[in-house]
Chains A and B, each alone.
Chain A
């Protein structure tokens, strides 16, 4: 009896020590060096709702990527068929399929073989023939489509990660969720708008020539319909008209001369007095060669540098440019130039992404939440502690002791497991204060019952603990179960609540059942306790 009691006393004290060791880093900022080397130095991790920051769920538009792939496949199909002398009357992408019209039966049979040999990624969805004219619908093969969807999301994830890394956020979380969502968490970020713009940019960089046609003005104003091969794009800068900005319009040739693939590096350069900062591009060897050819062939013409269908600048080519250097100038400030360089360096998104969910909490609100949470913790805790003391006297003091120990253990566990403390998590801790006394209430009520039956102090205490235990376990297991469901169901802050709830249950059962019992046993063994103050 005595030996087992001492084991338990030492055990509880050792746990207390461990808890304090885990807690200390969260309480003080200047830990000695030897501490950091040998002992845990992780602080309690605060959720975005407490430290401020942005939580984004981005949806990758994989359907768009599929369409682009089909569009390209349709172009290739047309070209290859022409080279092979296969007569296809029409090749056109319609929604998620390519429609091919074939006007002679022999071409039809050749087409199947042609398709098998050259386009294994396409499959015939359906076909119908009337009067010898066949209409064949092609779509992406199932495995190909699945692979493409997977690849698109993975690629988008990688690009977003690159961009955020260069943006310079500490401890961002970027991970996949479900089939086409990406979760991005940016703690402590000051400018969520800028981050969102940066993440969402597709960064499709294209070089196209400005069109040289006589009726440019008429096309731009919409008086004349656009001839094929030309398109109208709006510019980046523009004139401010009241609150709106009137964008400059450009008439460009649709043909793409060079794309972002050709870029090796992009850097911001400060501008001169007259001009703002610009982005210097360094091209890959192949890109450099192409660029040299393009500039040589189009001296005195204007070359439009287009990012995501917006013309950033359209300088006049003065001469042939060798060496693979180009620059994007435009009417932007240093921050915008830096972001432009980031997206160019980090590469293009394979498909557009949309914001499906955003939760941003400013730093002041987070601080307020912590303060208010702490106040309610102190007030609620004090009320419970006083109440237990008045109601159960010495036994109440023991329950209070268990309560304090419980909170220490709970916080230490949060720190040790590096679980995230959120605002609902603080509420969970406050709630634990109220519910943790339950086990001691159950025990104390039982002890009172036994004492009423005239049992001795020792017998009453033993019977009290023993009888209350099944009820304590059952009631806590059910709450624990609801906590687990909560953890499974919830995202972010809710998960934080579930974690504190579940941890709180484990620590409270331990402190209430084991912790208080140790004191009673010590009193019974060494102090010859004869009356229980309860």
Chain B
């Protein structure tokens, strides 16, 4: 079985400008979404605060939970229905933003309030997460640093293994992927937390895979046909590796879909980020990373020589 017939020859390079337009549109969409929502929707990890996830054995209305917690002075606490899975009762997320420098023991307050209204055995705590403001801002900076460092390191690696222009192309493509994925997360209103950052770093690693494979083929074809214009070589290389690119992304997307739909709520945002990131990463390897090499050749590099 074959997906891409041998000898297929799409003119990817000629569509560079159209692809750029498409990419800018995606980035703009993400930025608009971020602006409208007033910045990234930081989870507890980065914003600080307390999150308590409770599961009731019986189906329970959100209003009852709200009433139970009303007696507490929790300020801007939000209670979110986290999916009542039918016969298995109801689940809720209680979120309390951080107040001041020190953390009160909100989880203890929530627990005792629930106990006094619902008794002891009809519910249980699934998860408690508390992050202080110092830890939160520390984690935020480390996350930004990690993503930037990974992107630059990939660029440098490719620069060493190939050439500077390939490295630049890869780094630009990676920034592109991360930006669009963050935009998509904002559009879908997922929270930014540590697992999302882990997913972003994985996207960076995966996306650079495709770029490396194409660059590798370009180098090989350059050696074989020294006379051909770079444009033609890039096009041919992308076409020759297209089958592999689509297959690998395809199998990865298959398991990610399984993870997204079956992996459970906790891992949902993680799977979503990988799904979007991998698809965008594949697209950018084909339409952005390699054409940039050509673009650099035609402008700055040509003049420098």
Contacts and interface: CB of A to CB of B under 8 A. Distances in A.
Interface of A: 49, 57, 59, 192-193, 196, 243, 354-362, 364-365, 368-369, 372-373, 375-377, 379-381, 383-384, 387-388, 390-392, 423-424, 427, 430-431, 433-435, 437-438, 441-442, 445, 448-449, 452, 470-471, 474-483, 485-486, 488-491, 493-494, 497-498, 501
A355 B126 CA distance: 20
A387 B61 CA distance: 44
Interface string B143-161: 1011001100110011001
Given A365-B126, A501-B202, A376 B259 contact: yes
A369 B264 CA distance: 7
A400 to B, nearest CB: 11
Given A365-B126, A441-B247, A376 B198 contact: no
Nearest to A391: B1
B154 A365 contact: no
A501 B198 CA distance: 11
B103 A494 contact: no
Interface string B263-275: 1101100110010
A494 B194 contact: yes
Given A357-B132, A361-B126, A362-B124, A493 B259 contact: no
A503 B145 CA distance: 24
Contacts of B198: 424, 486, 490, 494, 497-498
Nearest to B104: A355
Interface string B17-55: 000000000000000000000000000000000000101
B201 A482 contact: yes
B8 interface: no
A362 B128 CA distance: 8
13 contacts: A59-B134, A354-B132, A360-B107, A360-B128, A372-B267, A373-B263, A388-B251, A424-B198, A430-B263, A441-B247, A482-B201, A485-B150, A494-B194
Contacts of A449: 6, 240
Contacts of B300: none
Contact of A57 (B135, B142, B253): B135
Interface of B: 1, 6, 53, 55, 71, 102-103, 105, 107-108, 111, 116, 124-132, 134-135, 142-143, 145-146, 149-150, 153-154, 157-158, 161, 194-195, 197-198, 201-202, 204-206, 208-210, 212-213, 216-217, 240-241, 243-244, 247-248, 250-259, 261-264, 266-267, 270-271, 274
A362 B264 contact: no
B135 A471 contact: no
Contacts of B105: 193, 196, 355
B267 A424 contact: yes
A364 B135 contact: no
B149 A475 contact: no
A434 B244 contact: no
A29 to B, nearest CB: 26
Nearest to B116: A243
A238 to B, nearest CB: 16
B36 to A, nearest CB: 29
Nearest to B258: A380
A475 B263 CA distance: 27
Contacts of B256: 380, 431, 434
B94 to A, nearest CB: 14
A475 B259 contact: no
A452 B240 CA distance: 13
B6 A358 contact: no
Contacts of B213: 442, 471, 474-475
B150 A481 contact: yes
A200 to B, nearest CB: 9
Given A196-B105, A482-B205, A384 B263 contact: no
A356 B136 CA distance: 9
A392 B154 CA distance: 32
Given A360-B107, A380-B259, A489-B197, 13 more contacts: A193-B107, A243-B116, A357-B132, A361-B126, A427-B263, A427-B270, A435-B252, A437-B248, A438-B244, A479-B205, A481-B205, A485-B201, A494-B194
Contacts of B71: 243
A381 B262 CA distance: 13
A441 B255 CA distance: 16
A493 B199 CA distance: 12
Contacts of B271: 427
B154 A482 contact: yes
B150 A358 contact: no
A493 B201 CA distance: 15
A403 B270 CA distance: 23
A494 B217 CA distance: 34
A362 B125 contact: yes
A387 B209 contact: no
Contacts of A192: 107, 128
B6 A452 contact: yes
A381 B257 CA distance: 11
Q: Which of B158, B266, B270 has the most CB of A within 10 A?
A: B266
Contacts of A494: 194-195, 197-198
A132 B292 CA distance: 77
B176 to A, nearest CB: 16
A308 B150 CA distance: 48
Nearest to A489: B146
Contacts of A452: 6
A427 B153 contact: no
Given A423-B266, A494-B198, A356 B154 contact: no
Nearest to A470: B216
A424 B270 contact: yes
B251 A364 contact: no
B123 to A, nearest CB: 11
